[in-house]
């Protein structure tokens, strides 16, 4: 039993809205600090990095939902859409600050950066791949796309790969925080690769159990 | 910090100074942490005095200078220089210091000396970035210059900024300033200077040879692998909505003085 299922059905929507609100609060607060001249000597860069960091945090949370359910039986699936969208919003803000405040809309410089530098290229690819996921993050799309919706949303693993590499390449010397988030991202991706094997083992394990205790097989 | 009386010089640029508060809170000094704000926050327990600098290697008179002797022997001058970081931001800083050439003259470099190697202090107890699990670089931080670069009159050892002794986060008590090179060449808290025949290694070059060279001359035409060097963000003059991105000049605008040092040299290969 997940703890959330004890909430009355009507409260789930409120919890999700609260999550959006809490999730956007860091960006709003940092924006306020920047706009009022309280973000240090290099406010644009500070804001840009801050947004990127929070995008990674929400990416990790989004990817953690399935393993939490499958390994620990903790079902938070109804919050996954909000977490994924928060990740997308932070990437969008991150890109907007890079384009508007950092590069001051110098499109030729931005395009040259994207074409030439793997670091920027990977970030941009991650952003581009997130767009179709964000656009189809609604109940209508889920109904319309059916099985293809699941296929499409596997793109999140590619997003994680591009975003993770972009995050890794951002600095030459990794900070402890970067080590932590890169480790989490790697573990979450490795879990996806290992999942089919884990499932097969689990199934065969159950079958063996049943063979040993034939009476348990009777429903 | 104590006041320094520095003689005015013609070595000045007619650009708006970066506010002192920005110069002292936005620093790369990995000995105190990786964040720009770490050096100002984590350097309070660093004790810059007493201090000595050992000058040795291929010199006729190897000498260990006490900091007080240095202040007496080499009266500081004010130098207002542009400072261009390899990370594509820049400042305009009023340094107080003296030409490195003056110090080199005292120790009489031998004819065979071709390079100058520099070394930063190692004090894990006073520098939190030098201890613990996540050590960012191999200590000590080391840098190097060709002898003619080191002897150039623009090259100074700074002992102050804004008319006061150097704050710890800016490389107290004495650091190198080479205004036509990227900021990482400006090694801080120097304890040793050695004259050598072979090109010395420098920390960032050994850490990432494809990204940081030995020369590290400011050059808008040679991009860093991860970003362009064509423009820079001028710190301090900018607000949140006016980041003040300006074009980067070759040799950081000091080409008239230093371009001749590199005649016939491929600046792309020797980045």
**Identity of the residue in B36, B228, B239 whose CB atom sits nearest the CB atom of A109:** B228
| A chain contacts of residue B207, beta-carbon cutoff 8 Å | 172-173
Q: Is residue A143 part of a domain?
A: yes
Q: Do A39 and B240 touch (CB under 8 A)?
A: yes
Which residue in A40, A44, A112 is closest to B228 by CB distance? A112
Question: Does residue A90 belong to any structural domain of this protein?
Answer: yes
The answer as to whether A201 is a domain residue is no
Residue A8 belongs to a domain: no
Q: Is the pLDDT of residue B137 over 50?
A: yes
The answer to whether residue A12 is domain-embedded is no
Burial class (CB in 10 A: 0-12, 13-18, 19+), B57: buried
Q: How many domains does chain A have?
A: 1
Cβ contact B233–A45 (<8 Å): yes
The answer to which of A36-45, A177-186, B240-249 has the lowest mean pLDDT is B240-249
Task: Number of helices (H) and strands (E) in chain B: give both, helices first.
Answer: 7, 12
- Nearest Cβ partner of B226 from A41, A169, A174? A169
pLDDT at A214 over 90: no
Identify all chain A residues contacting B22, using CB atoms and an 8 Å cutoff.
Answer: 40-41
Name the residue range of residue A27's domain.
20-195
Residue A4 lies in a domain: no
What are B73-86's pLDDT values in tens digits? 999 999 999 999 99
- The residue among B258, B271, B254, B267 whose CA lies nearest residue B82 is B254
The count of CB pairs under 8 A between chains A and B is: 79
Does any domain span residue A42? yes
Residue A217 has pLDDT above 70, yes or no: no
**A116:B22 CB<8 A:** no
- Provide the pLDDT for residue A212: 61
Confirm whether A116 is domain-assigned: yes
Backbone CA torsion sign across B37, B39, B40, B42: positive
Residues of chain B in contact with residue A119, where contact means CB-CB under 8 angstroms, are 225-227
pLDDT (0 to 100) of residue A201: 84
- pLDDT-based confidence at residue A1 (cuts at 50, 70, 90): very low
Alpha-carbon gap, residue A132 to A156, rounded angstroms? 10
């Amino acid at each position: 039993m997940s703890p959330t299922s004890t909430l009355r059905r009507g409260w789930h929507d409120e919890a999700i809205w609260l999550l959006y609100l809490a999730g956007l609060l860091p960006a709003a607060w940092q924006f306020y600090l920047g706009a009022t001249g309280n973000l240090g000597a290099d406010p644009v860069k500070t804001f840009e990095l801050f947004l990127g960091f929070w995008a990674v945090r929400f990416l990790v949370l989004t990817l953690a939902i399935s393993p939490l359910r499958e390994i620990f039986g903790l079902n938070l699936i109804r919050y996954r859409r909000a977490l994924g969208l928060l990740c997308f919003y932070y990437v969008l803000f991150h890109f907007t600050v890079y384009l508007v405040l950092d590069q001051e809309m110098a499109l030729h410089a931005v395009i040259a950066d994207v074409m030439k530098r793997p670091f920027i290229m990977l970030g941009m690819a991650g952003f581009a791949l997130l767009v179709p996921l964000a656009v189809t993050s609604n109940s209508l799309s889920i109904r319309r796309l059916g099985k293809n919706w699941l296929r499409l949303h596997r793109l999140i693993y590619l997003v994680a790969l591009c975003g993770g590499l972009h995050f890794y390449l951002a600095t030459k010397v990794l900070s402890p925080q970067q080590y932590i988030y890169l480790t989490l991202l790697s573990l979450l991706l490795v879990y996806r690769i290992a999942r089919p094997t884990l499932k097969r083992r689990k199934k065969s394990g159950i079958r063996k159990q049943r063979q040993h205790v034939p009476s348990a097989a009777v429903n | 910090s104590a006041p320094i009386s520095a003689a005015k010089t013609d070595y000045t640029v007619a650009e708006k100074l970066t506010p002192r508060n920005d110069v002292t809170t936005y620093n790369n000094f990995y000995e105190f942490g990786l964040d720009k704000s770490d050096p100002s926050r984590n350097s309070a327990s660093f004790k810059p005095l007493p201090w000595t600098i050992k000058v040795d290697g291929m010199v006729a008179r190897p000498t260990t200078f006490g900091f007080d002797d240095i202040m007496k022997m080499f009266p500081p001058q004010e130098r207002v220089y542009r400072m261009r970081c390899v990370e594509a931001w820049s400042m305009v800083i009023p340094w107080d210091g003296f030409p490195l050439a003056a110090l080199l003259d005292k120790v009489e470099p031998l004819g065979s000396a071709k390079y100058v190697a520099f070394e930063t202090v190692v004090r894990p107890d006073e520098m939190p970035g030098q201890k613990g699990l996540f050590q960012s670089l191999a200590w000590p931080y080391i840098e190097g210059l060709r002898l003619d670069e080191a002897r150039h009159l623009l090259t100074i050892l700074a002992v102050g900024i804004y008319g006061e002794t150097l704050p710890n986060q800016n490389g107290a008590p004495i650091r190198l300033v080479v205004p036509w090179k990227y900021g990482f060449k400006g090694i801080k808290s120097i304890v040793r200077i050695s004259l050598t025949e072979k090109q010395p290694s420098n920390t960032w070059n050994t850490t990432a040879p494809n990204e940081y060279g030995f020369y590290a001359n400011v050059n808008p035409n040679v991009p860093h692998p991860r970003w362009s060097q064509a423009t820079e963000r001028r710190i301090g003059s900018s607000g949140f909505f006016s980041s003040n991105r300006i074009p980067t000049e070759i040799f950081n605008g000091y080409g008239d003085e230093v371009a001749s040092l590199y005649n016939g040299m491929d600046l792309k290969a020797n980045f």
